[in-house]
């Protein structure tokens, strides 16, 4: 509460100042003139503003300013501008009259703060921890109003302005796009943080903290809000403080108002989850669609921990027309993620009577709105941890299987990977990589861009970066309360180190015959250590993260055991804990035993190292599967493995340096939708047998993508992408495929639909250098037979293939019905031509004449990469790599085989259905695969069949097609600017 002070008019104050030799009496020397106003000097070293400003004027930080009653800028007739310079502080109170600042229609406020010197409008008491202590800021009409680095706090006392009573911090009424708010905080409002009525103002980097009701309330609004963060206070005695993150409304059913809201994080911080379906008074939702709302363009919004759910439709709202794509006349809703850590809510979206719901909501939806059970897939923010400024910390750490924003889930924000992103009315290539909603030629956008380094939309919610050092858009210039008062820290102060009390995990009593060890929880997750030999059938699931404590062996020569791994499960491995330990952590399936790892696109199974990131290699042993039992890996990621393991399961010591090693498997071993990432040696190594693999992604292998010996099985839809060159030196990978046979063994696998990308930046003839072996395919060690079709080889340093001194490929034909065939293989290196793109070492036998050549339509076709570059959509920075690595152009072939019927000869002619007869039944049939086979049926269910209409391992040339996203969502990678999936080491 303000104490009454001695007041002196400016003229009298000047006289007293001139008569005094003491300028150190605690009063300012003189208050500056402000237009026509009679500025009053107060005894507390402040200058008082009141009345109506009828002349344009400026105020600055040489003094502090205090309002008295209503301070109006303009009177509706005289259009004037109040300029507020950086570092200025304005105080208000509720003594005698409610103080407030009102910019009338036609006049303007130009509040130009900076990050180092923000402008603050606060109550006049000692702390910044109240609400309703003064009236607030009101901006009306179409003047050119600018708030830049401005904090408005502790307002919302009831005040009547222009005939309407309000209780908010900031009220915008009737503004057009010339009203622009950038880097503005509303803190501890007694009502709504920011209230917008009518018009189209533009807001960017907005922080609303501690609002007693809604973070943003709007009615009849057609403007833009970008990069919005709303954080309510936490529960107090189980009573939520704050209602909705966003309240959307229209005054009439015939209204035509269509705001754009993009990049928003809305945090309710309620401690309970309550179904409000039958309680119309319960309205604590992330978004309240109320009062005739039927339009809106919403993208990339995170809704966390609101008591009653994600959204409510009420009061004649009709959202049935909102699609999940851009370009519609009434808007869209896309990339919305919602959960409540307090528990699941069957009524996460409540539809009141006489309203119409969204048509694009679901628990597994990658578009529209996606809901998560917060018990199983909690939302984690770095801001929840101690010793952090809260405003920097509230970026998303994890929701469900999505870690650290969109980089881990390229379909999480569907709207920014497809559609009319530049709003020109046409969906075309111009949209890719464009910053939606924003035009860099507009001053507002330029200003935002200067402060935020552009408009990348790579993370879920309003804070763009997963790096603490970069997530600083709201740092330093904002206000916060003390640690125990709702948020995190007093602004610019440092917290003492947080004392964290360890919490022991809850683990199953047994896993088969094994007894897990309960470790301390981490980030709210149970962690259970498991090791030893499993001799009884068992299941592990996502109720805990499973930490290996050495070898986990499934079965032995006596006990045939099955380990079932449920979707969403994470297994963590590490290196040996002591020099005496023989091996790192690893998982080994013994002959006769089996692993059934049944993940899904929305709940993949992860087997990774136990450190914090996903960019190492050789950090644990990996997965080893031996023998002929029924083994299934479905939607499984194995990453960062390849530390050397020595093991013996009955046929002598063997060693492994791979992520995945398959030994002596039959066709009952089936891998579908499996990624090997950052292996220390080969991505997947196959020794003996005929396992079947489909939709396989190998990224960042230090040596070969696929290595095999005595392999007669199937690999279909394979994508191998090596790391890029490091400064022109030797790349981190060798071959895409290494093919071999033992002296007495047989290798004749079927490999169809493969893209092999070396990513080397030089083209070097290796004819005279036997140590140079960076080829797309290495035919080594007695290789004689193979059945290869539809393979794309791109940018390998030494060429397309090498045939070593012991291999003989002279019997290979282009007919897919023969015992040995190669057809539809395309190869180029953009770094330049290679006169010896196929190297045959002394003693080796090359392919027959005519099977390989520059102009060949069958067999293997070589292109001069300088003249006919290979182009992938995945090479553009704005694309997630895994969905983008389909062929865009190669020579005269555009967008796959559709443009060149001879490109893949074997699939357009011949006995493609393997019935012994060449006839019309062959056209369009998928060779190598039998739809009656369970493996093929499983692949078909997930991929919509086996069309072979494009070159390489990703089937669709359409950037917007769902069928071009087989590796999206469940795979791991790092940010788009770090290679394809990972940085160069």
487 closest CA partner among 340, 373, 381, 377? 381
Q: Is residue 453 scored above 50 in pLDDT?
A: no
DSSP 483: G
Of the candidate ranges 259-273, 453-467, 807-821, the one whose mean pLDDT is the lowest: 453-467
Q: What is the pLDDT of residues 662-691, one digit of tens each?
A: 999 999 999 999 999 999 999 999 999 999
pLDDT of residue 872: 65
903 closest CA partner among 859, 872, 873, 869? 859
Q: What's the rounded Cα separation, in Å, for the pair 85 and 82?
A: 10
Does the pTM of the predicted model rise above 0.75? no
Of the candidate ranges 294-303, 638-647, 925-934, the one whose mean pLDDT is the lowest: 925-934
Mean pLDDT of 539-560: 95
Q: Is residue 327 scored above 50 in pLDDT?
A: no
Q: What is the pLDDT of residues 590-618, one digit of tens each?
A: 999 999 999 988 789 999 999 877 778 99
Of the candidate ranges 117-126, 291-300, 422-431, 693-702, the one whose mean pLDDT is the lowest: 422-431
DSSP 270: -
**Sequence-distant (≥ 6) Cβ neighbours of residue 375 within 8 angstroms:** 341, 343, 344
Q: Is 429 helix (H, G, I), strand (E, B) or coil?
A: helix
pLDDT of residue 521: 86
pLDDT of residue 234: 73
As a whole number, the mean pLDDT across the chain is 76
pLDDT of residue 527: 93
662 closest CA partner among 684, 646, 695? 684
Tokens 């910019």 sit at which residue? 103
Q: What is the pLDDT of residues 354-387, one digit of tens each?
A: 767 666 565 444 456 777 777 776 676 655 443 3
Of the candidate ranges 330-344, 761-775, 832-846, the one whose mean pLDDT is the lowest: 330-344
Q: What is the pLDDT of residues 391-414, one digit of tens each?
A: 444 556 556 555 444 433 333 333
Q: Is residue 11 scored above 50 in pLDDT?
A: no
pLDDT of residue 215: 96
Tokens 């269910």 sit at which residue? 941
Tokens representing 64? 């502090």
pLDDT of residue 427: 40
Burial of 43 (0-12, 13-18, 19+ CB in 10 A): middle
* Torsion on CA atoms 168, 173, 176, 182, rounded to nearest 10: -10
Q: What's the rounded Cα separation, in Å, for the pair 411 and 404?
A: 14
pLDDT of residue 87: 93
Q: How many angstroms separate the Cα of 206 from the Cα of each of 118, 147, 296, 478, 738?
A: 14, 11, 19, 11, 54
191 φ, ψ (degrees, to nearest 5) = -125, -115
Q: Is residue 115 scored above 70 in pLDDT?
A: yes
**Sequence-distant (≥ 6) Cβ neighbours of residue 802 within 8 angstroms:** 766, 773, 775, 777, 778, 779, 780, 838, 839, 840, 841
Contact 288, 311 (CB under 8 A): yes
At 581, the pLDDT band (50, 70, 90 cuts) reads low
Burial of 252 (0-12, 13-18, 19+ CB in 10 A): exposed
| Choice between 434 and 288, residue whose per-residue pLDDT is larger | 288
At 323, the pLDDT band (50, 70, 90 cuts) reads low
Q: What is the pLDDT of residues 795-850, one digit of tens each?
A: 899 999 999 999 999 999 876 556 788 877 888 888 888 989 999 999 999 999 88
Q: Is residue 426 scored above 60 in pLDDT?
A: no
pLDDT of residue 13: 38
CA angle in degrees (0–180, nearest 5) for 601-604-608: 145
| Choice between 854 and 930, residue whose per-residue pLDDT is larger | 854
pLDDT of residue 943: 40
Give the start-to-end residue ranges of the domains of the chain. Answer: 525-702
Mean pLDDT of 461-476: 57
| Phi-psi map region of 799: left, alpha, beta (phi>0 left; psi -120 to 50 alpha) | left
Contact 816, 822 (CB under 8 A): no
pLDDT of residue 727: 46
pLDDT of residue 129: 77
């Amino acid at each position: 509460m303000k104490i009454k002070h001695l007041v002196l008019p400016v003229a009298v104050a000047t006289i007293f100042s001139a008569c005094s030799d003491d300028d150190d009496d605690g009063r300012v020397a003189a208050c500056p003139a402000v237009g026509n106003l009679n500025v009053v000097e107060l005894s507390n070293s402040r200058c008082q503003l009141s009345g109506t400003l009828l002349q344009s004027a400026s105020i600055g930080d040489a003094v502090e300013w205090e309002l008295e009653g209503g301070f109006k800028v303009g009177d509706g007739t005289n259009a004037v501008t109040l300029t507020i310079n950086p570092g200025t502080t304005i105080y208000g109170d509720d003594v005698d009259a409610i103080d407030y600042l009102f910019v009338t229609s036609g006049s303007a406020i130009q509040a130009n703060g900076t990050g180092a010197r923000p402008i603050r409008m606060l109550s006049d008491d000692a702390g910044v921890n109240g609400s309703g202590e003064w009236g607030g800021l009101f901006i009306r009409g179409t003047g050119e109003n600018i708030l830049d680095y401005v904090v408005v706090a502790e307002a919302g006392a009831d005040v009547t302005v222009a005939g309407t009573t309000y209780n908010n911090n900031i009220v915008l009424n009737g503004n057009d796009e010339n009203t622009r708010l950038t880097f503005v905080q509303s803190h501890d409002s007694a009502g709504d943080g920011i209230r917008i009525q009518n018009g189209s103002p533009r807001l960017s980097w907005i922080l609303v903290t501690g609002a007693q009701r809604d973070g943003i309330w709007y009615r009849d609004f057609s403007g833009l809000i970008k990069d919005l963060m709303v954080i309510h206070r936490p529960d107090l005695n189980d009573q939520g403080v704050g209602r909705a993150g966003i309240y959307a409304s229209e005054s009439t059913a015939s209204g035509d108002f269509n705001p754009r809201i993009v990049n928003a994080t809305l945090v309710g911080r309620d401690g309970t989850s309550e179904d409000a379906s039958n309680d119309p008074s319960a309205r604590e939702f992330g978004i309240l669609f109320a009062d005739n709302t039927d339009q809106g363009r919403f993208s990339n919004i995170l809704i966390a921990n609101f008591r009653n759910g994600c959204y409510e439709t009420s009061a004649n709202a009709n959202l049935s027309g909102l699609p999940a794509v851009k370009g519609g006349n009434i808007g869209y809703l896309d990339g919305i993620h919602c959960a409540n850590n307090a528990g699941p809510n069957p009524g996460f979206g409540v539809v009141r009577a006489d309203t119409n719901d969204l048509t694009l909501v679901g628990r597994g939806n990658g578009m529209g709105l996606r809901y998560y059970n917060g018990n199983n897939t909690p939302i984690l923010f770095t801001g929840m941890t101690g010793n952090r400024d809260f405003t920097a910390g509230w970026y998303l750490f994890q929701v469900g299987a999505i870690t650290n924003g969109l980089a881990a889930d390229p379909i999480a924000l569907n709207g920014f990977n497809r559609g009319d992103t530049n709003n020109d009315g046409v969906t075309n290539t111009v949209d890719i990589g464009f910053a939606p909603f924003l035009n860099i030629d507009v001053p507002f956008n330029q200003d935002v861009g200067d402060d935020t380094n552009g408009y990348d939309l790579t993370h879920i919610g309003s804070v763009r970066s997963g790096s603490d050092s970069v997530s600083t858009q709201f740092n330093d210039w904002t206000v916060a309360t003390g640690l125990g008062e709702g948020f995190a820290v007093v602004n610019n102060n440092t917290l003492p180190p947080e004392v964290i009390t360890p919490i022991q995990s809850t683990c199953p009593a047994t896993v088969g015959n094994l007894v897990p060890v309960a470790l301390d929880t981490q980030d709210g997750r149970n962690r259970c250590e498991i090791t030893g030999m499993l001799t009884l059938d068992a299941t592990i699931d996502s109720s805990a993260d499973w930490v290996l404590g050495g070898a986990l062996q499934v079965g032995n020569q006596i006990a045939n055991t099955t380990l079932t791994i449920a979707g969403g499960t994470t297994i963590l491995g590490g290196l040996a804990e002591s020099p005496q330990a023989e091996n790192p952590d690893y998982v080994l399936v013994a002959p006769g035993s089996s692993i059934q790892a049944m993940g899904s696109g929305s709940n993949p199974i992860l087997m990774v190292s136990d450190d914090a990131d996903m960019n190492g290699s050789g950090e644990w042993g990996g997965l080893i599967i031996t023998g002929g039992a029924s083994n299934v890996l479905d939607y499984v990621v194995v990453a960062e493995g390849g530390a050397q393991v020595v093991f013996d399961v009955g046929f002598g010591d063997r060693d492994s340096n791979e992520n995945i090693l398959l030994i002596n498997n039959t066709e009952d071993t089936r891998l579908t939708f499996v990624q090997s990432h950052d292996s220390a040696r080969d991505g997947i190594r196959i020794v003996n047998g005929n396992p079947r693999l489909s939709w396989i992604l190998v990224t960042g292998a230090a040596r070969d993508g696929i290595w095999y010996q005595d392999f007669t099985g199937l690999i279909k839809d394979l994508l191998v992408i090596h790391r890029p060159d490091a400064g022109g030196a030797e790349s981190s990978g060798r071959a895409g495929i290494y093919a071999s046979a033992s002296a007495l063994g047989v290798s004749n696998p079927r490999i169809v639909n493969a893209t092999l990308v070396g990513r080397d930046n030089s083209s070097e003839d290796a004819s005279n250098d036997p140590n140079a072996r960076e080829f797309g395919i290495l035919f080594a060690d007695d290789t004689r037979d193979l059945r290869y079709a539809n393979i794309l080889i791109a940018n390998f340093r030494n060429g397309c293939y090498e045939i070593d001194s012991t291999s003989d490929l002279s019997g290979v034909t282009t007919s897919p019905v023969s015992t040995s065939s190669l057809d539809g293989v395309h190869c180029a290196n953009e770094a330049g031509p290679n006169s010896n793109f196929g190297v045959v070492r002394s003693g080796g036998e090359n392919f027959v004449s005519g099977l390989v050549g520059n102009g060949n339509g069958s067999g293997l076709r070589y292109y001069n990469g300088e003249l006919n570059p290979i182009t992938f959509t995945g090479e553009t920075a704005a694309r997630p790599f895994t969905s983008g690595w389909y062929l865009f152009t190669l020579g005269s072939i555009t967008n796959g085989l559709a443009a060149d019927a001879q490109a893949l000869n074997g699939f357009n002619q011949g006995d493609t259905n393997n019935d012994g007869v060449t006839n019309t039944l062959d056209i369009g049939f998928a060779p190598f695969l039998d739809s009656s086979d369970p493996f093929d049926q499983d692949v078909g269910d997930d991929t919509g069949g086996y069309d072979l209409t494009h070159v390489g391992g990703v089937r669709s040339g359409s950037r917007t097609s769902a069928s071009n996203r087989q590796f999206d969502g469940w795979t791991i990678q790092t940010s788009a600017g770090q290679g394809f999936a990972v940085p160069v080491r």
